[in-house]
Amino acid sequence: MPVRDYLRERFFPHMWCPGCGHGTVLNALLRAVEKLGLDKNDIVMVSGIGCSARISGYVDFHTMHTLHGRALAFATGVKMSRPELTVLVPMGDGDALAIGGNHFLHAARRNIDMTAIIMNNRIYGMTGGQFSPLTGYGCFGTTAPYGNVDHDFDVVELSTAAGATFVARSTTYHVIELADIIKKAITHKGFSVVEVLSQCPTNFGRRNQLGSAVEMLETYKKQTVPLNSKAAQDAPDKIRRGIFVEKERPEYSNEYKKMIRTATGES
Amino acid sequence: MSKDKPTYKEHRVEREWCKGCGICVHFCPKNVLALDQEQKVMAARPEDCICCRLCEYRCPDLAIEVICED
Amino acid sequence: MSRHLKFVQGNVACAEAALYAGLEFFAGYPITPSSEIAEFMAKRLPQSGGKFIQMEDEIASICAIIGASLTGRKVMTATSGPGFSLMQEALGYAVMTEIPCVIVNVQRGGPSTGLPTHVSQGDVNQARYGTHGEHAIVALTASTHQDIFAITVDAFNFAETYRTPVILLLDETTGHLRERLDVPKKDEIATVGRLKTSVQQGVDYHPYLPREDGRLPMSDFGGAHRYNVTGLFHDMWGFPTESPKIVYGLIRHLVDKIEHNADQMTRWKEYYTDDAPTVLISYGAASRSALHLVENRRKRGEKLGLLELQTLWPFPHALVREKCRHARAVVVVEMNMGQVLQQVKLAVDQPEKVFLANRIDGELITPTDIQNIIHVIQGKGV
pLDDT digits (tens, 9 = 90+) for B20-68: 999 999 999 999 999 999 999 999 999 999 999 999 999 999 999 999 9
C366: containing domain:
269-377
CB contact under 8 A, C55 and A73: yes
DSSP annotation of A150: S
Chain A CA closest to residue B11? A1
C260 and C361 within one domain: no
Cα separation, A34 vs A192, in Å, equals 19
Residue C369 covered by a domain: yes
* Chain C contact set for A259 (CB, 8 A): 46
CB contact under 8 A, B21 and A214: yes
Nearest to A85 among C57, C89, C222 (CB): C222
How confident is the prediction for chain B on average, in pLDDT? 94
Total of domains in chain C: 2
Chain B CA closest to residue A3? B62
CB contact under 8 A, A256 and C49: no
3-state helix, strand, coil in chain B (%, to 5): 20, 25, 55
Size of interface A-C (CB pairs under 8 A): 133
Average pLDDT estimate for A45-60 = 98
Q: Enumerate neighbours of A (3 or more CB pairs within 8 A).
A: B, C
Neighbour-count burial of C187, counting CB atoms closer than 10 A to its CB (0-12 exposed, 13-18 middle, 19+ buried): exposed
* Chain B contact set for A13 (CB, 8 A): 16-19, 61, 63
pLDDT digits (tens, 9 = 90+) for A151-173: 999 999 999 999 999 999 999 99
pLDDT along chain C (382 residues), means of 10: 83 98 98 98 97 98 98 98 98 98 98 97 98 98 98 98 98 98 96 97 95 93 97 98 98 97 98 96 98 97 97 98 96 98 97 97 98 91 58
CB contact under 8 A, C67 and A74: yes
Size of interface A-B (CB pairs under 8 A): 75
Class for the domain spanning A2-263: alpha beta
DSSP annotation of C196: B
**Res. B4 pLDDT band, cuts 50 70 90:** confident
C156 and C102 within one domain: yes
Residue C382 covered by a domain: no
Whole-angstrom distance between the N-terminal and C-terminal Cα of chain B?
Answer: 15
Average pLDDT estimate for A180-200 = 98
Question: How high is the pLDDT of residue B70?
Answer: 80
Q: Among residues A114, A69, A106, which one has the least CA distance to residue A87?
A: A114
Cα separation, A48 vs A118, in Å, equals 11
Please check the confidence at residue A217 and state whether its pLDDT lies above 80: yes
Q: Among residues A94, A151, A101, A96, which one has the least CA distance to residue A127?
A: A94
Chain A CA closest to residue B61? A23
Average pLDDT estimate for A193-209 = 98
Chain B stretch 4-23, residues whose beta carbon is closer than 8 A to a beta carbon of chain A: 12, 14, 16-23
Cβ atoms A123, A200 nearer than 8 A: yes
Cα separation, A6 vs A29, in Å, equals 10
Nearest to B23 among A13, A22, A214 (CB): A214
| 3-class SS of residue A181 | helix
Question: How high is the pLDDT of residue C214?
Answer: 87
Cβ atoms C28, C55 nearer than 8 A: yes
* Last-in-domain residue among C265, C291, C318: C265
Cα separation, B62 vs A55, in Å, equals 13
Question: How high is the pLDDT of residue A267?
Answer: 62
Amino acid in position C205:
Y
Q: Among residues A137, A114, A145, which one has the least CA distance to residue A207?
A: A145
Q: What is the CATH number of domain B7-69?
A: 3.30.70.20
Q: Does pTM surpass 0.95?
A: yes
C126 and C193 within one domain: yes
| 3-class SS of residue B68 | strand
For residue B68, count other CB atoms closer than 10 A to its CB: 15
For residue A42, count other CB atoms closer than 10 A to its CB: 13
Question: How high is the pLDDT of residue C380?
Answer: 73
Question: How high is the pLDDT of residue C382?
Answer: 54
For residue C29, count other CB atoms closer than 10 A to its CB: 22
CB contact under 8 A, C68 and A80: yes
Which domain CATH number covers C296?
3.40.50.920
